[in-house]
Each structure stands twice: as C-alpha cells, then as structure tokens.
C-alpha cells in the first residue's frame, strides 16, 4: 500500500530552524525518533544531524516538502546548501575559494597585504570543530535549533540580547552548557549592532548600512573580510598597525585574539572567535563614527557626508562668508573619487543594472574592439559577472 502523500502531523518550521531540528519535532509528534520517521515514513537510511543540515540528497528534500506541504525552497533553506550563493559561494572547496570570498573587499588593509594566505579545503563559516551554539533563553522555551547556531556567524541572540553559548548533549533530552548560567559577560553595544545586522541579512536578504542597504551576500563577505584583517599576522600591517592595535585595545582583548600563528577564523576556538567578533564590531563602530580611518569598501559604513545647503551665493564669491565655501583639497577629491569607484565596483558585483552602467561609462574611452575586450577582462578580474553585461553587447561599442 502506498504511504499517504501528506503526513497528517507536520509542525511548521520555525524561522531559520535547521532541518534536523524540524525533522526531530515532526517525528516526536508521532512518538518517533527522526531516523525512524525517515526509515518508516520515507524508506530512507539514517542521516546524522550534520548530514541533514549540510547538504542532504535533493530527492529527500523533495519528498519532505511533499509530505509536509511545504515549498521546496522553504525546506532547502533549512540546510546550508540552501544558502548557496548568499552565504557560501559553494559547499565544495575550490583552490581560489578563500581569495574570492575574503579578498574581494577591504576595510582596514589593502587586499595585497593579505593575499598570501589561502587555506586549502576551506569553506567560509563552516567551523572545523563542528561548533554547536545556542541561546539559553531560546532553548528554555523549546528545543528548536537554528541552522545558524551551527556556524560561528553571530555571537549573541538578538531577541534576548545575550551571548550564545556552547553546550554538550542534545537539547530535546539533555543539555549541559559549557559555562555557568551567571557567567554572561556584558554584551558590548557594538556587538549587538553587528549581530542585529547579520540577522537582518539572514532574515530579509539585505542589511541597512549607514550609506545604503547592501545585499546579504555583500554583508557576509564584508564581515568575513574584517575578521581576516583583524587576525592578519602583525608583520603585514605596515602603516595600519596602529589602527588595528587601537581596535584591539578598545575591546580589551589581546591583539589578534592572542594568535601566535595564523589560522583561518573557522579553525579557531570559539573563545577566540568571540574575541574576533567583538573586535570586528568595535572596528565597524569606529569606522562609522570616524575614529578609525579605513579604506576600500569601508565607505559603506560611513554616513552620507552632510552637504551644506547653498544660500545661492556662487562658490568663491567675495560676498560670501569667509570659509563657508571651503574648497576640498586634492587629497579629499581623490578620496571621493576612489570611494565612489570602489562603491560602484562593489555594487556591480551583485547588481546587473549597476554593472551595465559602469561598463557603459568605462566604454566611452574605448576606441577599438581590443580595448573593449580588455575592459571586459578587467571586469572579469574585478569579479563582476560578465553575464551582467550581455545586454550591453550588440550596442554600437566604438561610438
């Protein structure tokens, strides 16, 4: 006899719940364990929680969607594979993954200073120790486990404004927290802001930064860039050493989280990862309030400059108030130009319309087919998807 298409009991997944957690809750409504539900309900072998939450077989996801009456994307989003390409470029490590993900942006250091480090078999955010984090208050009100608690991606729970903690055991049956309940160090305000932004990226797909809203994919890469910059070996900092030291002094943790030899963030112990999150949060706050000079894509973190409203007096007029029409210096103008260029390039990586405008603008200077092809190569090197430009082809390129 064929099993019924739709399971009679199927609790709705909570927002950002992991597949293993939802399956466990579904199975428990029948008095079963999830492996029993997979075996008797779907004829599948047992999967570990890690297998279910990382990249389970597609046909299993399709069957679960049917049995629970859920959209396939909703079921996929309960796995890490459902977060490609927003959070991960791919779950399969490739030789240039690190460079592509971590070095495309820069906030504190010129990208060339960090480029020597490219760990093998690396996937962003996937902790090599298989970290399990949770919010004590969230878990006291139910055994729903969030997908992102399995990644070192946030350090606190925005709902309860408390630190995430590591634990042993299984929240539905038994849980042993790694730290005593009263061992909650105060959360710095900057870390609350940082984690709130990451949650906004996860739940809405974009983040409101002081200058403008950015796509979640940009946010995750910006954050990972900052974590890399704050743990770069001291010898690479050059003129930026003092700035980076100020960030670490500000948050009161050892310089570079006390690292003696460089390791990617994902390989570090949670204690060091938390210190790096606090340093990243402090650095962002300091860039935003102007107490830290930053470079590259950092302009996204700075508020829009206040443009004085003209009283109608022509610039440079002798009747104007002395100093009111202060002309920018060449340095200031150049900074504006480079900041605008970097903003355009960063936006063009994710927005086809911006990419097309940028290409059209740059093409004005092209007088031959070879120079247009060279421009396309430059866009490729800048990791602006060339298929964004397909609409520009066929126009008269050498006008």
Chain residues binding Zn ion by CB under 5 A are 135, 137-138, 157, 159-160
Question: With left for phi above 0 and alpha for psi between -120 and 50, is residue 333 left, alpha or beta?
Answer: alpha
Which phi and psi angles does 169 have, rounded to 5°?
90, -160
Residue number with CB closer to Zn ion (140 or 249): 140
Residue number with CB closer to Zn ion (54 or 146): 146
The DSSP string of 301-326 is: GSPPPPPPPP-SPPTT-TTSPTTTTP
Q: Which two tokens stand for residue 67?
A: 């049995």
Q: Where are the beta strands (DSSP E) in 99-196?
A: 133-134, 156-157, 162-163, 165-170, 174-177
Decide: residue 55, CB within 10 A, 0-12 exposed, 13-18 middle, 19+ buried. Answer: middle
Calculate the alpha carbon distances from 255 to 52, 252, 268, 276, 345 in Å. Answer: 38, 9, 15, 10, 32
CB of 174 to Zn ion, least distance (A): 20
CB of 363 to Zn ion, least distance (A): 51
CB of 126 to Zn ion, least distance (A): 23
Residue number with CB closer to Zn ion (140 or 332): 140
Residue number with CB closer to Zn ion (159 or 337): 159
CB of 82 to Zn ion, least distance (A): 23
Q: Which two tokens stand for residue 341?
A: 């260029």
Residue number with CB closer to Zn ion (160 or 196): 160
Measured torsion, CA atoms of residues 253, 232, 164, 128, in degrees rounded to the nearest 10: -140
The CA distance from 116 to 131, in Å, is 27
Residue number with CB closer to Zn ion (103 or 163): 163
CB of 27 to Zn ion, least distance (A): 24
Residue 151 in contact with residue 266, Cβ under 8 Å? no
CB of 164 to Zn ion, least distance (A): 8
Residue 266 in contact with residue 128, Cβ under 8 Å? yes
CB of 102 to Zn ion, least distance (A): 29
Residue number with CB closer to Zn ion (157 or 227): 157
CB of 134 to Zn ion, least distance (A): 8
Residue number with CB closer to Zn ion (135 or 389): 135
Q: Three-state SS for 166?
A: strand
Angle (CA) 84 90 93, round 5°: 155
Q: What is the CA radius of gyration of the chain?
A: 25
């Amino acid at each position: 006899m064929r099993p019924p298409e739709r399971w009679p009991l199927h609790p709705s997944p909570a927002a950002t719940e992991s597949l293993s957690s939802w399956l466990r809750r579904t199975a428990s409504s029948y008095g079963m364990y999830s492996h029993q539900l997979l075996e008797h309900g779907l004829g599948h072998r047992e999967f570990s929680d890690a297998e279910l939450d990382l990249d389970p077989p597609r046909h299993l996801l399709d069957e679960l969607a049917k049995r629970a009456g859920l959209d396939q994307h909703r079921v996929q989003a309960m796995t890490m594979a459902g977060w490609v390409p927003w959070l991960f470029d791919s779950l399969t490590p490739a030789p240039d993954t690190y460079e592509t993900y971590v070095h495309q942006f820069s906030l504190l250091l010129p990208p060339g200073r960090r480029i020597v480090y490219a760990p093998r078999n690396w996937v962003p955010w996937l902790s090599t120790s298989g970290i399990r984090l949770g919010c004590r208050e969230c878990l006291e009100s139910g055994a729903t486990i969030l997908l992102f608690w399995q990644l070192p991606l946030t350090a606190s729970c925005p709902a309860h404004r408390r630190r995430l903690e590591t634990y042993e055991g299984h929240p539905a049956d038994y849980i042993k927290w790694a730290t005593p309940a009263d061992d909650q160090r105060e959360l710095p305000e900057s870390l609350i802001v940082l984690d709130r932004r990451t949650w906004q990226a996860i739940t809405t797909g974009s983040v409101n930064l002081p200058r403008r809203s950015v796509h979640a994919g940009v946010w995750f890469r910006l954050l990972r860039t900052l974590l890399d910059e704050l743990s770069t070996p001291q010898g690479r900092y050059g003129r930026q050493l003092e700035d980076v030291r100020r960030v670490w002094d500000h948050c009161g943790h050892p310089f570079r989280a006390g690292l003696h030899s460089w390791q990617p963030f994902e390989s570090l112990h949670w204690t060091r990862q938390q210190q790096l999150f606090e340093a990243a949060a402090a650095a962002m706050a300091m860039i935003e309030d102007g107490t830290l000079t930053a470079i590259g894509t950092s302009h996204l973190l700075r508020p829009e400059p206040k443009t004085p409203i003209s009283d109608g007096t022509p610039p440079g007029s002798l009747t104007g108030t002395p100093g009111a029409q202060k002309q920018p210096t060449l340095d200031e103008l150049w900074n504006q130009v480079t900041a605008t260029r970097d903003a355009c390039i960063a936006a063009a990586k994710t927005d086809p319309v911006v990419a097309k405008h940028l290409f059209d603008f740059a093409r004005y200077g092209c007088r031959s087919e070879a120079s247009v092809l060279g421009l396309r190569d430059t866009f490729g090197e800048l990791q602006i998807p060339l298929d964004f430009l397909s609409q520009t082809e066929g126009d008269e390129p050498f006008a």
